[in-house]
Structure 1
């Protein structure tokens, strides 16, 4: 599934990396593993990355996107304005923003996708990418989020996490199947259908990352984790000039053949708010020998 994230990193990379025709690559668009977790230590950076992913998927990859969030988005986040200045408004028509304030509303809406996608016309408009911004806020029942209290999550939070994660992955599989059925009814090869992916953002404090039990539950359902760790702040006096993050892609679905369990990228957030990605410790052709394994 992380091929979507890699497409975003390449599209907004300082090295202007582009996948080569016929290249095996690090991620396969036909990977059977369809889900990922995006983890950030600051909520703003994860929300901006998810929005940038939505717009890139819609504008560059022609995906229909379903984007769940707590509050209405009044304007583009800065990274989109800065990184995609020539974005055409028509591209945004492929993104459906759904505002759900509570976990119960989110669960009902995700479950309803099984009914909404039924029928030929509905199937043709079904999303191929589902994004959930601020999963922790839904789980902890607060719009401002947080990583839970010092005692850790309650047992019901863990079971709810498993229920929601299972529902999301089941829905993505269902949406993939109806697209395959639709392709077959039109005389097309089912194997040409791009599977529906799910990406969620989950915020945890830096100290809680390694031992967060909710992340442990999510890892059982989502085969890829994208972890953002703040690396450096370049500053002049008291004004921050730019921020640097290390981005770690890890998990069983990072490579179809399992050869690489973790990949690293560098993210620079410029003073304008624009995001620029570059790979760390691996050649641009993405050969196995160049992959960094930590």
Structure 2
């Protein structure tokens, strides 16, 4: 999943050695409230749906009230039909869904997404339960990877909301990082003009790979603009906002 997200943040361009459609390592998407995790998950789902492989399974606790993005891909019926939404409302329902996923008819999944992991963990803060859920997610992705065979692997990404930036003391985070070698942190950036919502996305595919960062801007109409994070300065120039004219709209 790390590579699917990298392709989203790279505006669909090749993502390096794994840019041939490889799923990459399981990824944990981390951010504070209002860090647009759902929007990025949905963008990754659309990216995977456009690769011509298997369908995408998007798990979340409650139905989405509206599509979190307004892009050509989000309005493409062919891509949307390949994204399957399911809404397990509790940990037992989620575990049952994952345990029985191999019984579902149809082609093997190419991507498994889980939004709002913190809501499920809040039901029971036990370490063993969290470890079991993480292991079952990995086992489910591994099963579909085996079914895909030479055509590719099933990617996995799980979104976990923390209460503060880089909250290394968040419950279960240390445990989850053992299961998910790739992580992407979403940190709020200064607001642009109007009602723009700006984030800094920092992706680490593994402990040995360099960190890659982008500035992500969500416009009021649901469009998403992405530019590489400036490497020369840690703060944006006061006469520019994070949706520079050099940014590229997401057009999956």
Instruction: Give the match for residue 196 of structure 1.
Output: 154
Instruction: Give the match for residue 73 of structure 1.
Output: 64
Q: Where in structure 2 are the equivalents of 1:225-264 lying within 5 Å?
A: 225-235=183-193, 240-252=194-206, 258=208, 260-264=209-213
Which runs of 5 or more structure 2 residues have no equivalent in the other structure?
A: 232-252
Over residues 251-282 of structure 1, what are the superposed CA-to-partner deviations in whole Å (9 max), with x where a residue is unaligned? 527xxxx3x23211111122323211122357
Residue 74 of structure 1: how far off its partner (Å): 4.0
| 1:2 paired to 2:9 | no
Over residues 106-142 of structure 1, what are the superposed CA-to-partner deviations in whole Å (9 max), with x where a residue is unaligned? 01101111333xxxxx4x612110011101111113x
The more displaced of 127-136 and 44-53 is 44-53
For residues 172 and 85 of structure 1, the distance between their equivalents in structure 2, rounded to whole angstroms, comes to 24
For residues 130 and 212 of structure 2, the distance between their equivalents in structure 1, rounded to whole angstroms, comes to 26
- Give the aligned CA root-mean-square deviation in angstroms: 2.5
Residue 31 of structure 1: how far off its partner (Å): 5.5
TM-score normalised over the length of structure 2: 0.81
Change (3 A) 1:89 1:71: same
For residues 96 and 43 of structure 1, the distance between their equivalents in structure 2, rounded to whole angstroms, comes to 24
Report the number of matched residues. 231
Instruction: Give the match for residue 139 of structure 2.
Output: 170
Q: Is 2:165–2:187's contact at 8 Å kept on the other side of the alignment?
A: no
| 1:215 paired to 2:173 | yes
- Greater Rg, structure 1 or structure 2? 1
For residues 225 and 24 of structure 2, the distance between their equivalents in structure 1, rounded to whole angstroms, comes to 27
Change (3 A) 1:171 1:261: same
Over residues 199-245 of structure 1, what are the superposed CA-to-partner deviations in whole Å (9 max), with x where a residue is unaligned? 1111001157122241111110011111100011124xxxx432321
Over residues 159-194 of structure 1, what are the superposed CA-to-partner deviations in whole Å (9 max), with x where a residue is unaligned? 2111111111111111111221xxxxxxxxx3xx21
| Aligned residue among 79, 82, 86 for 1:94 | 82
